[in-house]
């Protein structure tokens, strides 16, 4: 090609470039390099300043009605992702500066706050994040303006080694010398688990109807290893419904059983059955929700019905799930005001029930304990339907910590050959009255039975024998007092013979007794009246909860000594709570120094 041809060709290219450039500058808003940025738009924002050419642009991303799934997933704002980004315009060979601002936090939707005095409340988190976001945007904007001025006045050190490490045009120009994050409070988000600051998507691993109106949903996230002072908590589940969100609170249930885990570990190789058991056992360690389904049309229930189990054949760009119905957006763990008080008390006194009366500060209980005055804690739980979930969480927490305490004492006794006199001062008794329509509506029945009899089984050790003995003796007392069915001869003999042996380990003094109240009169499967189905672990009554039943259960709590204290927890639908409160008041149970009544809404 001749020189003139080459020159002509270059001219044509330059003309085309100039044309394209002038077209771009007409379609974009000129922006002075010291412009302030409106940070209220709910999206990432970019300001570009072309210094050296007259181009300076603000390019806010169009605000969308709904946050994108990446925003839903957003981690705490990291300083390193945003700020002044430099690049070079290949055409003009001039340096461009760009300001990338973080997205504004998403305001909680109406109804997202469950009004249970949670700490942190989703609204508090939002306001904290908003303040932090504004401060960060202000700082980044100032930095950007300073960089623009420096570039315009030729003081920009681009090209220097230092600047090159800060600016990386090819990778989007991340500022990589600062790792400051805006995580304002102490609650740490778990990278792979739940986050308290934002909704994260998790695959639905299993969806199973336990009954016509009960759904069990297993999510692909481990039941959080919450610290001792966070044993009681709930999780927010968010569904997208058209262009709106529906957010509801649910209490996950911990279905992992140590006996299962040990069994799996003891297996050497994995046959088909073993692998199946292992898969089932690993599912039991996941976050599991029990959901009460209401007849359709019911927004929340219908969205749960529409959930699908994750299928590995199709792919979702974020979670690997094929469609939105295979994913649940979760946020947590969140504690209600009540949870916080109980959690701190369980953490301090694992063997004890909570004392949450505002007029009875925990210190007074500690004094009681120090002076060895308080010896008996009684808890009566009265639940209906899904109201069992917080009760079960509570029972699990107490059970778990008592197990730990028991093991610790057992170890100490073995190692130091030390007796544990004085350790068995506090006795805790728990009665649970659980109301449903039929046996198939009972949630966590097996798990409750296990809590009644303990995980050790009757033949393992003196400790477990002692435990069983205590349960049986407790039953004996109940049978005498309440004329519930009859204890079998074997049970009675075992209780008596064990009571004769004396107990070497008397630290575990938990007694859980379960009574089911079923409003349907007979069992549909066996066609036998419900009271015939009572066992040593659970009593079954037909009908509705009555004042007489409450009186019988509470009978032994009528005349509390100054060393005893009674806690009554009620959790069910509003009408049920109101009915039970009325009956308790008719029976003379009111909040006092020795009796605390908690209605869980």
Ligand X SMILES: Cc1cc2nc3c(=O)[nH]c(=O)nc-3n(C[C@H](O)[C@H](O)[C@H](O)COP(=O)(O)OP(=O)(O)OC[C@H]3O[C@@H](n4cnc5c(N)ncnc54)[C@H](O)[C@@H]3O)c2cc1C
Binding region: 389
Contact 140, 149 (CB under 8 A): no
Closer residue to ligand X in complex, CB, 132/231? 231
**What track of x and - describes contact with ligand X for positions 116 through 155 (by CB under 6 A)?**
x---------------------------------------
Q: Tell me how far, at minimum, the Cβ of 542 lies from ligand X, in Å.
A: 22
Q: Tell me how far, at minimum, the Cβ of 146 lies from ligand X, in Å.
A: 48
- Whether a cis peptide bond, with omega within 30° of 0, leads into 297 is yes
Closer residue to ligand X in complex, CB, 386/439? 386
Out of 69, 71, 195, 300, which residue is the one contacting ligand X (CB under 6 A)?
Answer: 300
Q: Tell me how far, at minimum, the Cβ of 309 lies from ligand X, in Å.
A: 19
How open is the CA angle 459-350-572, to the nearest 5 degrees? 90
Out of 57, 144, 245, 250, which residue is the one contacting ligand X (CB under 6 A)?
Answer: 250
Residue 207, interface with ligand X (CB under 6 A)? no
Closer residue to ligand X in complex, CB, 293/473? 293
Contacting residues for 334 by C-beta, under 8 A, at least 6 apart: 118, 120, 122, 196, 233, 234, 235, 236, 249
Closer residue to ligand X in complex, CB, 65/575? 575
Residue 292, interface with ligand X (CB under 6 A)? yes
Residue 294, interface with ligand X (CB under 6 A)? yes
Question: Segment 517-576, which members bind ligand X (CB under 6 A)?
Answer: 573
User: Of 13-21, 192-200, 268-276, 294-302, which part binds ligand X (CB under 6 A)?
Assistant: 294-302
Contact 130, 104 (CB under 8 A): yes
User: Of 167-175, 285-293, 410-418, 526-534, which part binds ligand X (CB under 6 A)?
Assistant: 285-293
Closer residue to ligand X in complex, CB, 98/234? 234
Closer residue to ligand X in complex, CB, 115/160? 115
* 3-state secondary structure at position 575: helix
Task: Tell me the two tokens of residue 91.
Answer: 């055409």
How many other β-carbons are positioned within 10 Å of the β-carbon of residue 58? 18
Question: Segment 57-116, which members bind ligand X (CB under 6 A)?
Answer: 114, 116
**What track of x and - describes contact with ligand X for positions 321 through 350 (by CB under 6 A)?**
---------------x--------------
As a whole number of angstroms, the distance between CA 573 and CA 436 comes to 12
DSSP character at residue 54: S
Task: Tell me the two tokens of residue 348.
Answer: 């301090």
User: Of 140-148, 280-288, 293-301, 448-456, which part binds ligand X (CB under 6 A)?
Assistant: 293-301
Closer residue to ligand X in complex, CB, 53/440? 440
Closer residue to ligand X in complex, CB, 374/569? 569
Closer residue to ligand X in complex, CB, 389/428? 389
Closer residue to ligand X in complex, CB, 96/448? 448
Inter-axis angle of helices 547-554 and 462-482, nearest 10: 130
As a whole number of angstroms, the distance between CA 60 and CA 58 comes to 6
Residue 249, interface with ligand X (CB under 6 A)? yes
Residue 389, interface with ligand X (CB under 6 A)? yes
Q: Tell me how far, at minimum, the Cβ of 388 lies from ligand X, in Å.
A: 9
Residue 290, interface with ligand X (CB under 6 A)? yes
Q: Tell me how far, at minimum, the Cβ of 520 lies from ligand X, in Å.
A: 16
Q: Under rule CB under 6 A, how many of the chain's residues touch ligand X?
A: 19
The residue ranges of DSSP E strands in 477-576, in sequence order, are: 510-518, 538-542, 564-571
As a whole number of angstroms, the distance between CA 187 and CA 178 comes to 22
User: Of 136-144, 247-255, 318-326, 527-535, which part binds ligand X (CB under 6 A)?
Assistant: 247-255
Distance of CA 365 to the CA centre of its chain: 29
- Alpha-carbon separation of residue 228 from 224, 362, 450 (angstroms): 11, 17, 22
Contact 97, 85 (CB under 8 A): yes
Out of 17, 241, 298, 528, which residue is the one contacting ligand X (CB under 6 A)?
Answer: 298
DSSP character at residue 113: S
How many other β-carbons are positioned within 10 Å of the β-carbon of residue 562? 10
Residue 248, interface with ligand X (CB under 6 A)? yes
Nearest Cα to 443, choosing from 255, 221, 272, 229?
A: 255
Closer residue to ligand X in complex, CB, 36/123? 123
Find the length of the chain. Answer: 601
Contact 413, 505 (CB under 8 A): yes
User: Of 74-82, 297-305, 342-350, 355-363, which part binds ligand X (CB under 6 A)?
Assistant: 297-305
Out of 234, 467, 506, 511, which residue is the one contacting ligand X (CB under 6 A)?
Answer: 234
H, E, C per residue of 65-77: CCCCHHHHCCCCC
Closer residue to ligand X in complex, CB, 298/373? 298
- Burial label for 581, CB within 10 Å (0-12, 13-18, 19+), is middle
Closer residue to ligand X in complex, CB, 238/248? 248
Contact 575, 583 (CB under 8 A): no
Out of 55, 141, 195, 386, which residue is the one contacting ligand X (CB under 6 A)?
Answer: 386
- Burial label for 186, CB within 10 Å (0-12, 13-18, 19+), is exposed
**Binding-site residue set for FAD:** 389
Task: Tell me the two tokens of residue 107.
Answer: 């305001």
Q: Tell me how far, at minimum, the Cβ of 214 lies from ligand X, in Å.
A: 8
Contact 169, 163 (CB under 8 A): no
In this structure, the strands spanning 286-292 and 327-334 are unpaired
Contact 311, 204 (CB under 8 A): no
φ/ψ of 399, rounded to 5, equals -60, -45
User: Of 38-46, 86-94, 245-253, 515-523, which part binds ligand X (CB under 6 A)?
Assistant: 245-253
Q: Tell me how far, at minimum, the Cβ of 291 lies from ligand X, in Å.
A: 5
Q: Tell me how far, at minimum, the Cβ of 581 lies from ligand X, in Å.
A: 16
Q: Tell me how far, at minimum, the Cβ of 136 lies from ligand X, in Å.
A: 32
Q: Tell me how far, at minimum, the Cβ of 459 lies from ligand X, in Å.
A: 35
- Alpha-carbon separation of residue 323 from 96, 209, 291 (angstroms): 40, 21, 21
Question: Segment 570-599, which members bind ligand X (CB under 6 A)?
Answer: 573
* Interface positions with ligand X (CB under 6 A): 114, 116, 234, 248-251, 290-292, 294-295, 298-300, 336, 386, 389, 573
């Amino acid at each position: 090609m001749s020189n003139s041809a080459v020159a002509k060709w270059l001219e044509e290219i330059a003309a085309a470039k100039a044309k394209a450039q002038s077209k771009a500058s007409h379609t974009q808003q000129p922006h002075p390099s010291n412009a302030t940025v409106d940070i209220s738009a709910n999206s990432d924002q970019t300001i570009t300043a072309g210094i050296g050419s007259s181009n300076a642009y603000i390019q806010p991303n169009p605000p969308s009605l709904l946050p994108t799934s990446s925003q839903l997933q957003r981690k705490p704002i990291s300083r390193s992702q945003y700020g002044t980004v430099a690049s070079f315009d290949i055409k003009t060979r001039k340096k461009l500066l760009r300001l990338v601002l973080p997205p504004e936090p998403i305001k909680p939707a109406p109804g997202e706050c469950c009004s249970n005095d949670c700490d942190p409340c989703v609204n508090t988190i939002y306001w904290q994040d908003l303040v932090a976001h504004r401060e960060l945007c202000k700082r980044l904007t100032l930095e950007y303006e300073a960089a623009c001025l420096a570039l315009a006045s030729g003081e920009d050190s681009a090209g220097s080694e230092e600047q090159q490490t800060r600016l990386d045009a090819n990778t989007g120009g991340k500022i990589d010398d600062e790792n400051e994050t805006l995580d304002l409070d102490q609650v740490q988000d778990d990278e792979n688990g739940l986050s308290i600051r934002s909704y994260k998507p998790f695959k639905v691993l299993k969806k199973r109807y336990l009954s016509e109106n009960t759904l069990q949903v297993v999510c692909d996230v481990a039941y959080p290893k919450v610290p001792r002072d966070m044993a009681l908590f709930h999780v927010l589940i968010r569904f997208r419904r058209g262009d709106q969100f529906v957010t509801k609170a649910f209490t996950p249930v911990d279905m992992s059983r140590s006996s299962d885990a040990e069994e799996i570990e003891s297996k050497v190789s994995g046959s088909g059955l073993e692998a199946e058991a292992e898969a089932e056992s690993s599912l039991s360690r996941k976050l599991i929700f029990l959901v009460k389904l209401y007849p359709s049309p019911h927004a929340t229930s219908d969205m749960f019905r529409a959930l699908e189990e994750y299928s590995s054949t199709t792919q979702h760009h974020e979670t690997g799930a094929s469609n939105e119905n295979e994913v649940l957006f979760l946020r947590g763990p969140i504690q209600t005001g009540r949870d916080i008080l109980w959690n701190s008390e369980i953490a301090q006194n694992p063997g004890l029930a909570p004392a949450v009366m505002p007029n009875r500060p925990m210190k007074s209980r500690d004094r009681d304990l120090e002076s060895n005055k308080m010896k008996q804690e009684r808890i009566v739980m009265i639940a209906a339907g899904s109201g069992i979930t917080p009760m079960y969480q509570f029972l699990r927490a107490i059970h778990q910590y008592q197990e730990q305490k028991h093991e610790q004492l057992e170890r100490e006794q073995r190692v130091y050959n030390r007796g544990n006199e004085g350790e068995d001062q506090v006795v805790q008794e728990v009665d649970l009255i659980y109301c449903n329509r039929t046996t198939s509506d009972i949630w966590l029945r097996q798990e409750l039975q296990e809590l009644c009899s303990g995980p050790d089984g009757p033949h393992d050790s003196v400790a477990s024998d002692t435990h069983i003995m205590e349960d049986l003796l407790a039953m004996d007392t109940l049978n005498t007092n309440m004329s519930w069915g009859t204890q079998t001869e074997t049970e009675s003999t075992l209780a008596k013979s064990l009571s004769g042996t004396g107990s070497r380990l008397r630290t575990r003094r938990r007694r859980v007794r379960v009574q089911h109240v079923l409003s349907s009169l007979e069992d549909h499967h066996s066609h036998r009246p419900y009271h015939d189905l009572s066992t040593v672990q659970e009593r079954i009554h037909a009908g509705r909860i009555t004042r007489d039943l409450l009186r019988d259960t509470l009978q032994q709590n009528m005349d509390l000594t100054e060393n005893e204290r009674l806690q009554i927890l009620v959790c069910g639908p509003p009408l049920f709570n109101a009915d039970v409160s009325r009956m308790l008041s008719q029976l003379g149970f009111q909040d006092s120094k020795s009796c605390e009544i908690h209605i869980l809404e």
